[in-house]
């Protein structure tokens, strides 16, 4: 086969992937309209594996042509050049580059992973950008008036379900705009609405995303749309606060399902609304997590070039399963599975891999950090001091290689860095500590509601985000809630039993005693008191057992990613 044939084969593999990915994403609106929440979850979960399936399929086709036996440098340089020409006006060029990289890296040894043979840097960065207008539609209240224009926007989304009382919702929406965003107080002829053409679907909600453009500037917003049991749709909330919008698009939530023809244009529009979000975060948020990996690695390489600090052990209590280090000037941690686990961890590497994948494909409800999984990550060894290198060799020796001035990690996870909850509590005042403990209990309840049992619930395994949200990040003991056996502690039969310190009952591996939660998790009496006051249900075995019954009965809870006080339902 000639270089052009290979370039066409890889591009066809990408086209097939993107077509299938968009086809399954396009099922979300109907599932939402029919309130088929199980289907919504299935769509979200299935999209996680679509990319690797197509890469493997394309790689196998190339291997069948015996192109992976040895790298012909001239041949592959021509192939890449031709492929690059194909992408000049391609609406998904950046995603197609990443697909090419994935195929090439499956075919050949990592020593060829350089800019000559793969797209380490975006080669089309200087090419004409796709107009973001391709992804949004503008509306002009000067033509029809403010409320009729909003009605037109809502109706043109065609949610395939009727609204309970759209006129009431529009009235509450306008009222909320005036209250939250005073800069939008303009006459109808002094503003324009730019609205992304397709809703963002996740869990039991749809979100309309857009901006108001006026003489005062640009005001981004998100409108949440929900189902009201059997009655129909309603607008639930308006979000104009930048911090709240970033939380909705946060790293601890499941990926949105949104149809797009030009992802780069969609991402640039979102970036204009949320400039503090990186390209990697935004690609992840809309479901293109492989592109998110590519963008993140480019951001990391750029940061390495512009910084001079050394990698260090990440703050917090060392874990028994993961070795974790960080770069102080970079807001992420690097996690590698240890060669040997602590005695209290009766499982192996394969179990850890499966549990991290479980969380990746699950609804993270804003309480579980997303992980970026990499193979063969290259670091400059000069940025690791002798002490850290020694620790790495002792704990993850089988997962690392030093070649000249490079340190190569064979497999790792990267997560957003947060302040471990146990360290946070040591530094804050009593009031902030109480808020964090209450948030910790709420985080447990929200994970329980979606069939996640965190396993090790120690405070050190939870982090505090920049938005003061409590987020779980240690997944080596994660299991489905329905797989656990929640038991009440046996009562003492006699005074002698009460006095003895020995356990007089058997405990199986899946047994959990909720009454012991405070005993083992919160040695501080003040924390215990707050926890018992704010979340007494979590100490009652009946609460956990009822949560299991709800899940088995397919009761799907909606975890609101915004403050309850902003819901319009309180004004009905």
The answer to whether the annotation marks 348 as part of a ligand binding site is no
The answer to whether the annotation marks 19 as part of a ligand binding site is no
Q: Torsion-angle region of residue 193: left (phi > 0), alpha (psi -120 to 50) or beta? A: beta
The answer to whether the annotation marks 315 as part of a ligand binding site is yes
Mark whether 126 is an active-site residue.
no
Q: Which residues pair with 191 in a beta bridge?
A: 214
CA–CA distance, 3 with 532 (Å, rounded to integer): 67
Per DSSP (E only), the strands in 266-357 are 312-313, 322-326, 332-337
Strands 205-214, 200-202: pairing kind: antiparallel
The answer to whether the annotation marks 335 as part of a ligand binding site is yes
First to last CA, the chain: 67
Q: At what angle do helices 541-552 and 430-449 cross, to 10 degrees?
A: 40
DSSP string, 231-291: TEEEEEEEE--HHHHHHHT-TTSPPPB---S-HHHHHHHHHHH-TTS-HHHHHHHTT-HHH
The answer to whether the annotation marks 342 as part of a ligand binding site is no
Q: Where are the alpha helices (DSSP H) in 450-559?
A: 495-499, 517-521, 525-534, 541-552
Considering 169, 194, 236, 370, which one is annotated as catalytic?
370
- CA angle centred on 129, ends 128 and 131, rounded to 5°: 120
Q: Which residues pair with 95 in a beta bridge?
A: none
The answer to whether the annotation marks 316 as part of a ligand binding site is yes
- The alpha carbon of 257 is separated from its chain's Cα centroid by a whole number of angstroms, namely 12
Whether the Cβ atoms of residue 415 and residue 333 lie closer than 8 Å to each other: yes
Residue 195 makes CB contacts below 8 A (sequence gap 6+) with 136, 137, 138, 139, 153, 208, 209, 210
The answer to whether the annotation marks 419 as part of a ligand binding site is no
The answer to whether the annotation marks 317 as part of a ligand binding site is yes
Active-site positions read 370
Q: Which residue ranges make up the annotated binding site?
A: 314-320, 335
Q: Which residue ranges make up the annotated binding site for ATP?
A: 314-320, 335
């Amino acid at each position: 086969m000639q270089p052009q044939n290979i370039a066409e084969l890889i591009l066809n593999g990408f086209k097939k992937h993107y077509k299938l990915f968009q086809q399954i994403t396009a099922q979300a609106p109907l599932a939402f309209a029919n309130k088929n929440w199980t289907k919504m979850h299935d769509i979200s979960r299935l999209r996680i594996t679509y990319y690797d399936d197509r890469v493997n399929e394309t790689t196998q086709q190339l291997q069948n042509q015996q192109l992976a036996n040895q790298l012909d440098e001239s041949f592959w340089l021509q192939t890449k050049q031709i492929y690059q020409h194909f992408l000049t006006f391609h609406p998904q060029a950046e995603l197609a580059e990443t697909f090419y990289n994935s195929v090439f890296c499956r075919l050949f040894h990592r020593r060829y992973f350089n800019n000559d043979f793969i797209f380490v840097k975006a080669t089309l960065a200087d090419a004409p950008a796709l107009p973001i207008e391709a992804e949004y539609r503008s509306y002009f209240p000067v033509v029809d008036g403010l409320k009729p224009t909003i009605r037109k926007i809502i109706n043109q989304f065609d949610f395939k379900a009727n609204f309970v009382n759209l006129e009431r919702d529009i009235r509450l929406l306008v009222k909320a705009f005036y209250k939250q965003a005073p800069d939008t107080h303009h006459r109808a002829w002094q503003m324009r609405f730019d609205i992304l053409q397709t809703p963002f679907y996740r869990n039991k909600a749809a979100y309309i995303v857009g901006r108001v453009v006026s003489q005062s500037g640009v005001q981004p917003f998100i409108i949440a749309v929900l189902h009201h049991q059997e009655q129909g749709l309603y607008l639930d909330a308006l979000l104009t606060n930048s911090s709240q919008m970033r939380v909705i698009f946060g790293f601890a939530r499941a990926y949105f399902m949104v149809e797009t023809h030009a992802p780069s244009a969609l991402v640039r529009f979102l970036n204009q609304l949320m400039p503090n979000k990186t390209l990697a975060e935004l690609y992840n948020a809309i479901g293109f997590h492989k592109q998110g990996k590519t963008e993140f690695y480019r951001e990391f390489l750029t940061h390495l070039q512009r910084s001079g600090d050394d990698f260090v052990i990440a703050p917090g209590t060392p874990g028994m399963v993961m070795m974790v280090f960080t770069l102080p000037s970079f807001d992420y941690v690097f996690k590698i599975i240890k060669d040997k686990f602590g005695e209290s961890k009766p499982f192996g590497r394969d179990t850890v891999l499966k549990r991290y994948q479980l969380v990746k494909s699950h609804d993270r409800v804003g309480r579980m950090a997303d992980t970026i999984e990499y193979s063969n990550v290259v670091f400059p060894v000069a940025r690791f001091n002798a002490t850290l290198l020694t620790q790495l060799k002792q704990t993850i020796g089988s997962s690392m290689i030093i070649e000249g001035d490079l340190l190569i990690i064979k497999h790792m996870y990267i997560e957003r860095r947060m302040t471990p909850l146990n360290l946070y509590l040591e530094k804050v005042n009593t009031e902030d500590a109480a808020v964090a403990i209450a948030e910790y209990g709420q985080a447990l309840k929200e994970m329980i509601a979606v069939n996640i049992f965190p396993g090790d619930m120690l405070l050190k395994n939870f982090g505090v985000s920049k938005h003061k949200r409590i987020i779980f990040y240690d997944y080596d003991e994660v299991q489905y809630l329905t797989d656990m056996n929640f038991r009440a502690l046996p009562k003492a039969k006699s005074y002698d039993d009460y006095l003895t310190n020995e356990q007089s009952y058997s405990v199986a591996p899946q047994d959990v005693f909720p009454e012991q939660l405070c005993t083992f998790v919160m040695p501080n009496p003040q924390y215990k008191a707050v926890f018992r006051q704010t979340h007494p249900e979590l100490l009652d075995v009946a609460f956990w057992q009822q949560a299991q019954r709800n899940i088995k009965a397919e009761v799907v809870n909606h975890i609101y990613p915004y403050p309850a006080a902003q819901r319009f339902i309180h004004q009905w």
